[in-house]
Each structure stands twice: as structure tokens, then as C-alpha cells.
């Protein structure tokens, strides 16, 4: 009996030592498979970092379109300011006159004119037009920036989606390689009559399933690269992994909210352009008679009607009475649109506040999930190494081994997915809190 007790103690010691060695092996192992990704991409030609993708995204056609719209709005401000300038028109006229009279029935006249016009007062309509155009310009600038940040976020989604899918691909390839190795070993055992055929066929089925999953993962990787090419106008063969700096927990006005606020300002100034005040205009007309009518030159009594030079200055005050009814309806129409946008702005502010709270919580949870996935992977690796040794020694059945194998590679895929998800949630928080994504991309 003592002999068996000693044997049992020795067996327990061996198991503990093996477990400790496995744990040491796992603890020193790099749980992430970024080294495998770099090895896979070492011969790629068009390899980009995250900041390279964002720089290229600035040339995205949708951003260029928004930039041109902003430029157009800026020109509109200059056009509106031009309304303050006076007008000066020069003209020349030649007339051939024929009359049914006994004398001077046909004569020619020539005259040169210079007309100067300046609006002195129009209810500040021109000033409010400039303010409206400037608000529209600022709204377009903010809309352009919001589009840029949206494109940046899409780039980051595809960027980390790429690493998520390529990590999954590498894990599946490792799993397939291990299964193929087991197929060769189990096939030899089957031929020797040492294992049933169901173990061999189960391994082959697992190999076929892994090949199917690998093809699916390869398609997902290609989709990520194609989307990045669409967003950046680059030819993407491979990517270098970079992290996003941890964001500040604060709420800023997002660019779409700023654009909407400026749009409301434009509506306010557009409404102010409609007024009930009279308009005051200053006009000055200078006329030089180059050729006078024949009857005026031959008769001194008519010469006073056609002087050589004449200058007329006038001030005109215009008050539109009937138009006031139509103006009132127009102002009501514009006011209703303004109030609608103000309600929308209030709603979007509340939405952003909730988004900030949501993505702050999501970021905290993503960090916890990453830690849990790391612990899960360590445990799965230790368990697999022990079960693998027991399986090779025929101490456990095939089903337990397959389950441990699947658990190990699933845990590896989950851990790498949690890493990428953590980085992506940083980007989500930065975007929805109103901060600038580029400010959190490290310059290397």
C-alpha cells in the first residue's frame, strides 16, 4: 500500500511541475499575434501606417466636394459685400431723328452719359445679407470638417477591422496546421488498429471546417482593404499596427452641431433682410451733348434746352406699402424654418450627450473585456498544453482534446479581437465627444 501511495505522490508532483512549466511558457509568450501578422506582410509593397491613411483620406472625393462648397460660400460673402459699392455706368448714344416738319425734318444727336448710384439706406438689408452669407460659409466649413472626421472614423473602423480579421485568419491557419498534423498521426494509429475511424474522420471534418472559415476570413480581409482603398484612394496591400492615444473624457461641440447653429444664424439674418423701412438712394447723372439737334443750334431760343454739359443729382425715397403683407408672410415662413432647426439642434445636443456617456461606458467595458480575454487566453493555453500531453499519452479521449484545441484558438481570436475593439472604442469616443481624431494619432 505504501508503494502505491509513493507512486501517486510522484505522479502528482510530475503533473504540478508540468503545469508550472506550461504556465511559465504561456506567461512569457506574446499573447498577441502581431509578430505573425508582420511575418505574413513582410513582402508586401504598399504598406501603410495609420497616419498615412488619414493623410490620404484628406483627398477623399466627398471631402473635396465639401471643400469646394465652402469655397463657393466664401465667394458668396465677397459678392454680398459688393452690394455696398456704388455703381458707375458710362454710356454713349447716337440718334437719327426724322420728323414730318417743314424745317429740320431730319437731324442727328450724340451724347455721352455718366450715371452714379449709391444706396444710402435699405433697412440694413445689405449688412444682413453679408451676415447671412458669412454664416453660410462658416456652416459649410463645419460641415466639411464633420465629413472629414466621419471619413477618419470609417478609416479607423476598416483599419482595426482589418487587424481583427487577419488575426482571426492567422489563428485559423494555426488551428488548421495543428489539425493536419494530428490527422497524419491519427491516420497512422488507425492503420495500426490503435484508434477508431470516427477519431480520424472527426479530425478531417474539423480540417474542412477550418478551411471554410479561412476562406471566409480571407474575404473579410480583402473587403477591409478595398474599403480602405475607397476611402483613401490608395492601393493597400498591408498595414502596420498602431494604437490610438487614450482620449480625454470631455464633451465638445461636434462639427455637425456647429454647422447647424451657423445655419440657424443664416436663417435669422435672412429674415432680417426683409423689412418695412423705406429705402433711400442717391443718384447723380452727368450728360455731355456731343452733337445737338439742328433746330437747337440754328435757333438760340432752344439752345438752353440742350446745354453742352448737364449734371443732375437726386435723392429718392421709396416706401412699399402693399408689399408689406407679402413680407409678413415671408418672415413667418423663415421663422418657422428657424424654429425647426433650433429644435433639431436641441435634440442633437441631447443626443451627443447621451452618445458621450454611452461610448465612455463602452470604452470602460472594452478595457475590462480585453483583460478578461487576456486571462481567458492564458488559461486556455495552459489547459491545451496539459490536455495535449495527456492526449498524446492516450490518457484522455479525442473529444476532450478537440474541445481544448478549439477553445485555445477561439480564445486567441477573441483576445486579438478585444485589442482591436478597445482601439476602435477609443476612436468612437473621440468622434462622438466632438474631439479631433488626428490629435490622438501618435506621430512616429
**3 state DSSP class of 282:** strand
Looking at residue 107, its pLDDT comes to: 80
Cα distances (angstroms) measured from residue 211 to each of 171, 175, 204: 12, 10, 11
Residue appearing with cell numbers 474539423: 206
Looking at residue 239, its pLDDT comes to: 94
CA 229, CA 237: separation in Å to the nearest integer?
A: 10
Looking at residue 444, its pLDDT comes to: 58
Between residues 311 and 108, which one has the greater pLDDT? 311
Cell of 146: 464633420
Under DSSP, the state recorded for 261 is H
Q: Is the pLDDT of residue 2 over 70?
A: no
> Can you list the domains of the chain with their CATH numbers?
20-87+124-278+336-439 (1.20.1600.10)
Contacts of 375 (CB under 8 A, 6+ apart): none
Cell of 29: 509568450
Round the average pLDDT of the chain to a whole number and report it: 88
Which H or E element spans position 97? Answer: strand 87-98
pTM: 0.84
**3 state DSSP class of 395:** coil
CA 222, CA 225: separation in Å to the nearest integer?
A: 5
CA atoms in the 13 A half-sphere facing the CB of 238: 14
Confidence of residue 32 (pLDDT cuts 50, 70, 90): low
Quick one: angle between helices 323-392 and 255-272, nearest 10? 180
| Bridge partners for 315 per DSSP | 282
By the 10 Å C-beta count (0-12 exposed, 13-18 middle, 19+ buried), 429 is classed as buried
Looking at residue 374, its pLDDT comes to: 94
Q: Which of 279, 254, 171, 268 is nearest to 429 (CA)?
A: 254
Cα distances (angstroms) measured from residue 286 to each of 91, 175, 283, 302, 441: 10, 95, 10, 20, 67
CA 60, CA 68: separation in Å to the nearest integer?
A: 13
pLDDT digits (tens, 9 = 90+) for 222-234: 999 999 999 999 9
Cα distances (angstroms) measured from residue 7 to each of 17, 18, 420: 15, 17, 49
Amino acid at each position: 500500500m505504501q508503494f502505491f501511495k509513493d507512486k501517486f505522490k510522484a505522479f502528482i508532483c510530475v503533473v504540478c511541475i508540468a503545469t508550472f512549466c506550461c504556465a511559465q511558457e504561456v506567461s512569457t509568450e506574446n499573447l498577441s499575434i502581431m509578430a505573425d501578422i508582420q511575418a505574413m506582410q513582410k513582402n508586401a509593397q504598399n504598406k501603410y501606417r495609420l497616419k498615412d491613411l488619414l493623410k490620404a483620406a484628406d483627398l477623399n472625393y466627398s471631402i473635396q466636394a465639401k471643400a469646394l462648397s465652402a469655397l463657393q460660400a466664401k465667394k458668396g460673402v465677397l459678392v454680398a459685400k459688393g452690394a455696398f459699392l456704388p455703381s458707375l455706368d458710362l454710356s454713349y448714344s447716337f440718334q437719327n431723328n426724322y420728323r414730318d416738319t417743314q424745317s429740320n425734318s431730319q437731324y442727328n444727336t450724340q451724347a455721352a452719359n455718366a450715371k452714379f448710384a449709391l444706396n444710402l439706406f435699405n433697412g440694413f438689408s445689405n449688412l444682413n445679407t453679408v451676415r447671412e452669407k458669412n454664416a453660410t460659409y462658416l456652416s459649410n466649413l463645419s460641415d466639411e470638417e464633420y465629413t472629414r472626421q466621419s471619413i477618419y472614423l470609417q478609416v479607423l473602423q476598416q483599419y482595426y477591422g482589418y487587424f481583427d480579421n487577419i488575426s482571426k485568419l492567422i489563428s485559423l491557419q494555426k488551428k488548421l496546421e495543428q489539425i493536419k498534423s494530428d490527422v497524419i498521426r491519427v491516420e497512422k494509429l488507425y492503420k495500426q488498429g490503435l484508434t477508431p475511424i470516427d477519431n480520424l474522420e472527426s479530425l478531417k471534418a474539423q480540417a474542412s471546417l477550418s478551411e471554410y472559415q479561412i476562406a471566409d476570413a480571407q474575404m473579410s480581409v480583402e473587403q477591409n482593404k478595398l474599403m480602405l482603398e475607397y476611402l483613401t484612394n490608395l492601393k493597400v496591400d498591408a498595414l502596420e499596427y498602431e494604437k490610438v492615444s487614450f482620449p480625454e473624457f470631455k464633451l465638445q461641440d461636434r462639427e455637425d452641431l456647429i454647422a447647424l447653429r451657423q445655419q440657424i444664424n443664416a436663417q435669422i439674418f435672412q429674415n432680417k433682410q426683409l423689412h418695412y423701412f423705406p429705402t433711400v438712394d442717391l443718384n447723380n447723372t452727368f450728360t455731355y451733348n456731343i452733337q445737338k439737334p439742328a433746330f437747337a443750334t440754328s435757333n438760340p431760343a432752344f439752345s438752353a434746352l440742350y446745354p453742352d454739359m448737364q449734371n443732375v443729382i437726386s435723392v429718392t425715397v421709396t416706401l412699399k406699402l402693399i408689399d408689406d403683407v407679402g413680407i409678413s408672410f415671408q418672415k413667418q415662413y423663415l421663422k418657422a424654418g428657424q424654429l425647426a432647426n433650433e429644435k433639431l439642434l436641441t435634440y442633437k445636443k441631447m443626443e451627443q450627450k447621451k452618445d458621450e456617456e454611452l461610448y465612455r461606458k463602452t470604452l470602460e467595458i472594452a478595457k475590462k473585456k480585453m483583460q478578461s480575454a487576456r486571462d481567458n487566453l492564458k488559461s486556455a493555453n495552459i489547459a491545451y498544453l496539459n490536455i495535449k500531453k495527456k492526449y498524446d499519452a492516450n490518457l484522455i479521449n479525442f473529444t476532450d482534446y478537440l474541445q481544448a484545441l478549439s477553445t485555445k484558438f477561439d480564445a486567441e481570436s477573441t483576445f486579438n479581437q478585444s485589442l482591436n475593439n478597445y482601439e476602435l472604442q477609443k476612436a468612437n469616443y473621440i468622434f462622438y465627444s466632438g474631439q479631433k481624431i488626428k490629435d490622438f494619432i501618435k506621430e512616429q
